[in-house]
Structure 1
């Protein structure tokens, strides 16, 4: 672990740092250093599920064309713009809608952050720090709702069904959006935030018709998964093909140059995630060789922790780690260590996965080092102090959503059980 920290401080990407530290461990132990390559290749080429990640990223890239984005924002504005804090409500709703396109909090904030910041701060309608804070906290919703790249990674390390994980994330994700919108309503009344001009009801069917093909993406994805027509990876391929077809032929917003740029951008993102997965795979081999998961599980059982106490401690740990580390690293390195203990204590693995991912995502906006906070200071050109102050009320209501998700398992598992989950 010290070698990983040292290499990271020297500027080595975390994936390569884990590989380098693992090779160093094998050398010091006198083990065959080729074991690192063996573990990397075995895990990479034996996991069909890994193919879902670049396909979801490609689908998101196709759907992020300007024309699709504009139509979805118009639809969101038609629904909630007329309520107190109209544009702020639109910001949250667009994060819920765009969840079906990105699956990544950082991608969501980067994709719509500049546009929403410009819209909300025009003519002094909202304070810049408030607009930036709202974009950061609403971006957290994306990776909870399907398709979620963090949940795909958790399925990879835990062996749980990606379909059940996707369903388990729906209610917590919607709850997160609901508590944020409720807080906006309260703040809008208190600070007299502006209300947008209401869209006439006669125009709503037309606006909905224009946005409907994009809105059908999650319906298509979940339909393919739970009807048994496709595997999760094949469903990701269907999603990418659907995104290409509607963006290129229905909305006519995607040309050949755009397709090439989407492929190029998706390849870069997929490679960076792939290197991270490779590094985590080799490092997990080191952790397993040292028998750390089994030792931790035995120690936890010796402490006679209840599931409630374990989940409380796990929440605190993951919130702190989420403020310092990239989420994928935590899922691939830390969760495999915690999962055996969770299962031994009777915590459902699907429930634990959603709780863990929700913790990690909230960590992205937890002061003082949340990655989304640093990203929004650059996008919105606001000070970190002002951004943190504006974020704190949202963190309060998000903690309420986290508590409900953590300590009410039936809330999380309701939809999976309707689909046949027996956990």
Structure 2
């Protein structure tokens, strides 16, 4: 699906099984970030987007209905923009003041589509697995009215008692054998769970903590299917950090082909009033001579990146004989090389350059260069190193005839089957 094409609710002619994603919460326990936790990024992608992709990967799910907070439409739109889902994504519906009210609003929005079953899932569980979804759907197909994913409680459980001494004391050890830790999705026959929520709303039963509790309150039987320890719910700021760390490690591990390449470039001085170095204009009594803006630093970095891909050099892609590149800014060359890495599903791990010159002084401009290089390549500042040295008045740089730059690039690429042979 093109990035500018919204997922269509009419992709499939009918909805047998729908997923209802509850994303209307404020997530106050996740810290005071600039957005609720479901819109915060883990591994560079919003939590909600990861949840939607995980659900849509299950073949049994025909459509997804998301319930959002009334203030979150811009955040929602940004999160789903460009998503390519394997099922229909219905327009979002505004939730209520509580989770229970939000689920009811979502069920009402789904009712005209006449689904037979619905899987109700927390937006903050982005690691739900196909196996858990499949087990839930199969149990419903076998005739169950309600099923929930859950795990046996493995820790020893204590009941606490406040004795007024400042610390709670142990009142008793609870038998954990019948206990289960509930997860989502929680799956139901659609008509049964909608009716249960409607009855609970009419009767003021508003303190039911999950949809299984609503179904039980209405007299339905809810059974267990096996959950998954990986299907964690992101609740706190620490959970967000742990999830981000997990995804980052997985991402880097998948790019097991580490490549390091070096490059060298030099430009002579000519008449002028400034030089371009590392994407920064520096006033000087001369300029660097070249077909482009002669930014020797960006040229060397461009060649180093292209070398990690075995993809020629700057002269191959931007020949000086081509007038299109006359006096062009060299940031275009480095951005091109960076994009070539991304096109191979690669990641730039580190860029390093050493500038060799007597003048101008590099120290006052070093941090500005680092920031500009990081910006051009779309990588963190911590992955860019800029150093400078003189040649002790030796050679052409020592005589002040020009500037040289040495660069190295470290790139991580996926291990393709052809590379593993």
Is TM-score (shorter-chain normalized) higher than 0.5? no
Name the structure where helix makes up a greater proportion of residues: 1
Which one has the largest radius of gyration?
2
Choose between structure 1 and 2 for higher RCO, CA contacts under 8 A separated by at least 6 residues: 1
| TM-score, normalised with respect to structure 1 | 0.22
Name the structure where strand makes up a greater proportion of residues: 2
